[in-house]
Amino acid sequence: MNFGIVLMVLGGFLLGGAYSIFRADHDAKGRTGVQVTFAVVLLAAAVLATVSGVLRLV
């Protein structure tokens, strides 16, 4: 299996995790700052992994 494909799959999992964390909020309080920060970090990691995978395939 090509390493670029593995990076793209990893990016997809990280993107799903970021979406899941960002979507989970408390009914009364809403999203916490830590929750938003962690979602942004996961989103950045997902973008980096996906772009790295695409560049690796090219």
The CA-based diameter of the chain, rounded to the nearest angstrom, is 47
pTM: 0.84
Calpha distance 39→17 (Å, rounded): 8
Chunked in runs of 10, what are the mean pLDDT values of the chain (58 residues)?
91 93 77 89 96 93
Instruction: Extract the tokens encoding 34.
Output: 């830590």
